[in-house]
Amino acid sequence: MGKADQKKKEKIVEDKTFGLKNKNRSAKVQAFVQQVRQSVDQRSPQARKSQAELEARRSAKEAKQAREAELAKLFNDVDTQQRKKREEAAAAAGGDGDDQLMCNPEDYLFRPEDFDEVDQDETRLEEKLEAEREKLKERTDLTPVTEETFQAWKQRKREEAAAAEAARVRKAKAGEGKMRGWDLWQMDKDLFVDDEEADEFYEREEQDDAVAAEEEEEAAYDLS
């Protein structure tokens, strides 16, 4: 048995008997300690392995805590140095280094008196529209809109649109402008009707192309 294993066993016995009074003088306590020692010595390899893993995790945890404590101390030292530099610079300028660090939170709150008062118009929308309508009645450069004048305006717009479309079609037929598919269809609807055997012709043409491509591929690999 190596010294390391013996130390581990002693550590386990020490942990299990920690806190017992008169450990070295009481016979009952000595008997219990001896029983613990025997149980530790007679443990199975699996139990010893579990105990070793537990000790390894405990050591890793302690090492991690030590590293974290060291990093915390390092950052604390850096922060302390920066704070000291700010205080020295502020003292040299005749100010307090904590002025920027000790701002009053109340200074960042918005209060009603910080804003300009806005007049609230409580006039209803219907009243505003009626007032605008009354203003329009006083103008003499406008044409009053009635049901008759509105319908006449719509009819005039439709006629203007139809005349513009007819002029565009005439230019297209005369070759002065671009002709759309709709224009061609309006001129001759038979241009857009396929022959009865059109589908069969297209399918046969595709098959012929496929056969020709296959023959070319076979000829390329023919070594005879």
For the four alpha carbons of 69, 75, 78 and 84, in that order, the dihedral sign comes to negative
Mean pLDDT of the chain: 72
**What pLDDT sits at residue 155?**
95
82: three-class secondary structure by DSSP: helix
Q: Which residues contact 9 (CB under 8 A, 6 or more apart)?
A: 37, 40, 41
Q: Which residues contact 104 (CB under 8 A, 6 or more apart)?
A: none
What average pLDDT does range 72-78 have in this prediction?
75
Residue 25: both structure tokens together: 């003088």
pTM score: 0.24
Which has more pLDDT, 199 or 148?
148
pLDDT surpasses 60 at 183:
yes
pLDDT surpasses 50 at 97:
no
What average pLDDT does range 60-87 have in this prediction?
80
Q: For residues 144 and 16, what is the distance between their CA atoms, to the nearest angstrom?
A: 105
Q: For residues 17 and 37, what is the distance between their CA atoms, to the nearest angstrom?
A: 10
Residue percentage of the chain with pLDDT more than 70:
51
Q: For residues 153 and 148, what is the distance between their CA atoms, to the nearest angstrom?
A: 9
**What pLDDT sits at residue 80?**
74
Which has more pLDDT, 141 or 34?
141
Residue percentage of the chain with pLDDT more than 90:
6
Q: Are 15 and 54 in contact, with CB atoms under 8 Å apart? A: no
